[in-house]
Amino acid sequence: MQGYDKHAFEPFAVTVDLAVLTIRAGALHALLVERGQEPYAGRWALPGGFVRPDESAEDAARRELAEETGLADVSGLHLEQLGTYSDPDRDPRMRVVSVAFAALLPDPPEPHGGGDAAQARWLPYAGAGPLAFDHDRILADAHERVGAKLEYTCLATAFCPPEFTLGELQQVYETVWGTALDRPNFRRKVLATPGFVEQVPGAARLTGGRGKPAALYRAGGATTLHPPLLRPTTEGLSS
Amino acid sequence: MQGYDKHAFEPFAVTVDLAVLTIRAGALHALLVERGQEPYAGRWALPGGFVRPDESAEDAARRELAEETGLADVSGLHLEQLGTYSDPDRDPRMRVVSVAFAALLPDPPEPHGGGDAAQARWLPYAGAGPLAFDHDRILADAHERVGAKLEYTCLATAFCPPEFTLGELQQVYETVWGTALDRPNFRRKVLATPGFVEQVPGAARLTGGRGKPAALYRAGGATTLHPPLLRPTTEGLSS
DNA sequence: TCAAAAGTGTTCGTCCTACACCCATGA
DNA sequence: TCATGGGTGTAGGACGAACACTTTTGA
């Protein structure tokens, strides 16, 4: 640990990769870009890019998120660091260390390739692979992380528009977890957690064309969920 | 995203920082090194170092862990990526992106500075700060992460020697969480989780000099804890 | 015989689960 | 009037919190 010398070490490129998730038509979708050149030409990949000299990885991720989605304001979107992928061989061209992020957004606006990348598209999570580089693993890690955080945080509202019904909120859980939930119990659980959601007074909306109009809710101030909303026995043990 | 050019971007240094935690004398301790030079000369810092060209961040972290603790075999220790800290100003000398790891180990052997760094020492977690760079935040994030993972994983055994008593396991929880737990209930909870611990047949050990000898247990094969062992109401809400 | 620590039993309340049932709306 | 989805009620069981109690050791 003698004095730093900018050339005492092999230079690393530092990038960000984004696992941008949303729920469309009852299925989990991810935002992907098609690679035009080698390596992995023609394969789908997570959007991402270099971290610039004057920004943090978080800054870079939000910048890329805005560029790739084409959204004017991404400041309210949930963006969370997933982890860093640093295998020496993950990019055959050179040493690239990538900080991966998961981003969650509500109703999916069709993206336009406003940024430097090729056209980005929403593809169903199931059957999206195989992706370029180690992006299959990053995307799977993002799914796993989000699924786990639904249990003990109020994250689910990040998938919903500003005003949503409890049925839509439940669909978030069911889609990410891939399981069905009991509606009455889900409803009670959510409403019993102070600050998870708050009702929009007097508002209601029809959902499936038919049926009773559903009351509308907004995300509340709470971030954690005590007690947690556990997904039905992932593994075959107790309870 | 034209072809990569090794000089098209500002070079980044990539390092690892380690939050090495243990429990000594009923208190959480962290392994720290004293800085000899500016910046932050004389301050304590987390051990760490550069990621080498041919290794991943995980490789580098385990290598540093061996060097700093002086342990011959660190392959069994719990080592987990915490996150990446990439604020452009976090190191005044140059752009350093650091991948932080949390490591957990049982009974603390006094480290010798076998590596390149100055003597590393175990300091109590409480009152360790202020540390150099953003290491206060990294260390706090490690504590928070470990505390949270105790709830829903079998991580606590990583703080224990190969054979331990349930009382010692309970001390891990109480020390990390800073709360007292009911012994009978803790015991039942742990034993009711298949694969959390398995009893060493016939073995027993005196703990406090007095009292009934405690049965010894080994870590089991399970990694997750269903249902979770929640810490007593962190925040003042439901239940 | 006392203190200390391990280990067992029991009670009581709360939460979760599972259903059955009613309400409002469009076709 | 029927299908569809929102919303309420309720009985039973599992689980956790609290605490009394027994057991085994060293002093």
- Three-state SS for chain A is CCCCCCCCCCCEEEEEEEEEEEEECCEEEEEEEECCCCCCCCCEECCEEECCCCCCHHHHHHHHHHHHHCCCCCCCCEEEEEEEECCCCCCCCCCEEEEEEEEECCCCCCCCCCCCCCCEEEEECCCCCCCCCCHHHHHHHHHHHHHHHHHHECHHHHHCCCCECHHHHHHHHHHHHCCCCCHHHHHHHHHHCCCCEEEEEEEEECCCCCCCCEEEEEECCCCECCCCCCCCCCCCCCC
Distance from CA of B225 to the nearest CA of A (A): 10
Tens digits of residue pLDDT in B185-234: 999 999 999 999 999 998 888 887 788 999 999 999 999 998 899 888 75
Which residue, counting CA atoms, is nearest to the C1' of nucleotide D7?
A184
Q: What pLDDT does residue B211 have?
A: 85
Nucleic strand D within 7 A of Cβ A227: no
Q: What pLDDT does residue A71 have?
A: 87
pLDDT band at B99 (very low <50, low <70, confident <90, very high): very high
Query: Nearest CB to B9: which of A50, A58, A228?
Result: A50
pLDDT band at B118 (very low <50, low <70, confident <90, very high): low
Using a CB-CB cut-off of 8 Å, the residues of chain A touching B54 are 88
Query: Nearest CB to A99: which of B84, B192, B227?
Result: B84
- What is d(CA A109, CA B188) in angstroms, rounded to the nearest whole number? 51
Nucleic strand D within 7 A of Cβ A236: no
Inter-chain touch A228–B226, beta carbons under 8 Å:
no
Nucleic strand D within 7 A of Cβ B210: yes
Inter-chain touch B238–A88, beta carbons under 8 Å:
no
- What is d(CA A49, CA A51) in angstroms, rounded to the nearest whole number? 7
Which residue, counting CA atoms, is nearest to the C1' of nucleotide C14?
B239
pLDDT band at A139 (very low <50, low <70, confident <90, very high): very high
Tens digits of residue pLDDT in A74-103: 999 999 999 999 999 999 999 999 999 999
Nucleotides of D under 7 A from a protein CB: 3-10, 14-20, 23-27
Query: Nearest CB to A238: which of B3, B95, B192?
Result: B192
The mean pLDDT of B155-182, rounded to a whole number, is: 96
Which residue, counting CA atoms, is nearest to the C1' of nucleotide C5?
B211
* Chain B residue closest in CA terms to A11: B11
Nucleic strand D within 7 A of Cβ A189: no
Distance from CA of A114 to the nearest CA of B (A): 13
Query: Nearest CB to B56: which of A37, A87, A194?
Result: A87
- What is d(CA B103, CA B62) in angstroms, rounded to the nearest whole number? 9
pLDDT band at B236 (very low <50, low <70, confident <90, very high): very low
CB atoms within 10 A of CB A138: 24
Whole-number distance in Å between A157 CA and C25 C1': 27
Taking all residues of chain B, what is their mean pLDDT, rounded to a whole number? Answer: 89
Q: What pLDDT does residue B127 have?
A: 86
pLDDT band at A239 (very low <50, low <70, confident <90, very high): very low
